[in-house]
Amino acid sequence: MRLDLHIHTTASPCSRLGLADILSRARDLGLDGVCLTDHDRVSRAALELEGVQDDGLVVLVGMEYTTAEGDFLAFGPVEELPLGLPARELLPALRDLGGVAVAAHPFRSWRLTDPEVFSLGLETGLAVERYNGRNLAQENEKVQILVDRFGLHATGGSDAHSVNELGVAVTRFSRPVRTRAELVAALLAGDCEPELTPRGLRRFQVPLPSIWA
């Protein structure tokens, strides 16, 4: 299964993506699912849409959680998270709720993640966003350092704010991921593989591998 785990709807003030547009574009791209990760909130409209759609497309709800130490994609029962926590409190709080966090775009030049987070977050199952569709190529490549040094599981997501950005980067799962609980379990188990789609490979000027040729 291929899911775009990082998408912003119009519930985020910076995004122009409506829910109907997200679903339509995801189907056009052949994605198996999407995760709606608005900034520090979960919209009622997203919750009403969440689940497996009639055609099998999976829609899940998460959150991009803002801290002074960096931004984190939060997955699981995110509605129960209090806002405004520092990262050192957010990560264990999310773990205790049965969720998991992914450090979003950790090397983005204007929104760097505090390096201490990665050693503190190991016991919480913290993962890292290896491919972010809005990053510079070199910002994405630096993330491999964290994967190698800390043994972190890695994901991919478009960070889409417009229709054309959706699906540039995705996460591939070999197990079914149809619910939040299944997503959390797959991420904690490391059953996830970050991937650039053909549009992402062109965006970052990476040669198309044989599977996409």
Task: Check if the beta carbon of residue 134 is closer than 8 Å to that of residue 159.
Answer: yes
Global pTM reads: 0.94
Ramachandran angles phi, psi of 83, nearest 5°: -85, 160
CA-CA distance, 8 to 10, in Å (whole number)?
A: 7
In a domain, 187, yes or no: yes
> Residue 213 — pLDDT band, cuts 50, 70, 90?
very low
Higher pLDDT, 119 or 74: 74
In a domain, 210, yes or no: no
Number of domains, the chain: 1
> Residue 212 — pLDDT band, cuts 50, 70, 90?
very low
CATH code, domain with 70:
3.20.20.140
* Nearest one of 85, 176, 42 to 94, comparing CA atoms: 85
In a domain, 112, yes or no: yes
In a domain, 209, yes or no: no
Give the residues across from 4 on adjacent strands: 34
